[in-house]
Homo-oligomer: A and B are copies of this chain.
Amino acid sequence: MIGRVAGLADLLKGDGSADRVVPPSGFTAHLTLFTAGAMAFLTVFALALSLAAGQLADRWESELARTATVRISAPEAQMATQTAAVLEVLRTTPGIAGARVLDAAEQAALLEPWFGPELPVDSLPIPRLVEVTETGAGYDGDGLRLRLAAEAPGAVLDDHTRWRRPLVRAADRMRLVGYLAIGLIAASTAAMITLAARAALAANARVIEVLRLVGAQDVYIARAFVRRFTRRALSGAAAGTVAGAVMMLLLPDMGGDSGFLAGLGFSGWGWAWLPAIPLLAAGVAFWATRAAALRVLGGLT
C-alpha cells in the first residue's frame, strides 16, 4: 500500500523525457481536465444535497418520535382507569417506545399559545394528554385506534406524525437521489476518462508504433499516458471541488438561524468529504488509464 502511494506520488512528479515523447494532445487534455472539473463540481452539489437531506431526515425523524398524543376525555371518575388502560395498551403496542402522561404544567404550556398564560387549567374539564414516543419503525396507527376504542372509549389517538412523515420521507428520498447522483457521476467520470484515455491512445497509435520501433518497453509508454491522465484528473477535480465549495459558500445562507434546516451548505464533518473528491478522481483516472494503455499496447507487436 505504501509502495503504491509512493508510486502515485512518483507519478505526479513526472519524468521529463517520457512525458515529451507523447505529444501534448491538446484536446483530450482539455477534455479530461474539464470533465474531471465539471464532475467534481457536480459531486460537491450532490454531496451537499445528500448530507443536508440526511441531516434533515434525521432531525425530522427525531422530532416525529415525540409528536403523537393520546387524548383522554372522560368523566372525572373514569379518568384514572381509562388512563391506566391507555398506558397498558400503549405499552403492549409494537412500535411504541414509551408513553407518558403530561402533567398540568406541561398541558398549560401547550395551551399557552392559544389562551395566554392565565388559563386556569385545573378548573377546566380538559382532557388528559398522553405523549407517545414511537420507535424508529413506527406503529400501526389504525390498529392502535381500534384497540384504544375497545379498551378506553374516551381515548383518541391524535397522530401528529401524519403530516410530518411525508417530509421525512421526502428528505430521505432526497438523500437517496443525492447518493444515486454521486454514484452516477463517479461512474460517468470513470467511463469518460477511460474513453478519453483510449481516444488519446488511438490518436497516438503512430507515436506508439515509432516508440516500439526504437525499442521502448510497454511500461515506458503506458506510464507517459497514465501519468498524464492521473495528473489531469487530479488537478481538474481539485479545481472543480474548490469551485463547488466556493459556490456553496456563496449560496445565500438562508434558514440558518432557525436551526430547523441548517441549509444546504456543509457543516462540520461535511467539509471533510471534499478532499476525497479529487483523490478519488485521480485514483479512477489512474486505474482506468492503466487498464486502457496496457490493453491497447498488448494488442500491438
Asked if B73 and A31 sit within 8 Å, CB to CB, the answer is no
12 contacts between A and B (CB under 8 A): A26-B198, A34-B191, A42-B184, A71-B115, A73-B118, A111-B114, A114-B129, A166-B255, A166-B260, A169-B261, A170-B254, A172-B254
Asked if A31 and B192 sit within 8 Å, CB to CB, the answer is yes
Residue in contact with A30 in the complex, picked from B176, B180, B195, CB distance below 8 Å: B195
Cα–Cα distance between A199 and B185 once the two chains are bound (Å): 22
Interface residue? A146 (CB, 8 A): no
Given A26-B202, A127-B116, A188-B34: A170 and B45 interface contact (C-beta under 8 Å): no
Tell me the A224-266 residues at the B interface (CB within 8 Å). 247, 251, 254-255, 258, 260-261, 263-264
Residues on B with C-beta less than 8 A from A85 are none
On chain A, the number of residues with a Cβ less than 8 Å from chain B's Cβ atoms is 67
Residues on B with C-beta less than 8 A from A286 are none
Interface residue? A268 (CB, 8 A): no
Interface residue? A150 (CB, 8 A): no
Q: Which residues of A contact B (CB under 8 A)?
A: 25-28, 30-31, 34-35, 38, 41-42, 45, 49, 56, 71, 73, 110-111, 113-116, 118-120, 124-127, 129, 156, 158, 162-163, 165-167, 169-170, 172-174, 176-177, 180-181, 184-185, 187-188, 191-192, 195-196, 198-199, 202-203, 247, 251, 254-255, 258, 260-261, 263-264
Closest-CB distance, A296 to chain B (whole angstroms): 10
Residues on B with C-beta less than 8 A from A114 are 71, 110-111, 126-127, 129
Residues on B with C-beta less than 8 A from A166 are 254-255, 258, 260-261
Closest-CB distance, A247 to chain B (whole angstroms): 8
Whose C-beta in chain B lies nearest to the C-beta of A46? B181
Given A113-B71, A166-B261: A184 and B31 interface contact (C-beta under 8 Å): no
Asked if A73 and B191 sit within 8 Å, CB to CB, the answer is no
Closest-CB distance, A39 to chain B (whole angstroms): 8
Residues on B with C-beta less than 8 A from A180 are 45, 247
Asked if B162 and A115 sit within 8 Å, CB to CB, the answer is no
Whose C-beta in chain B lies nearest to the C-beta of A116? B73
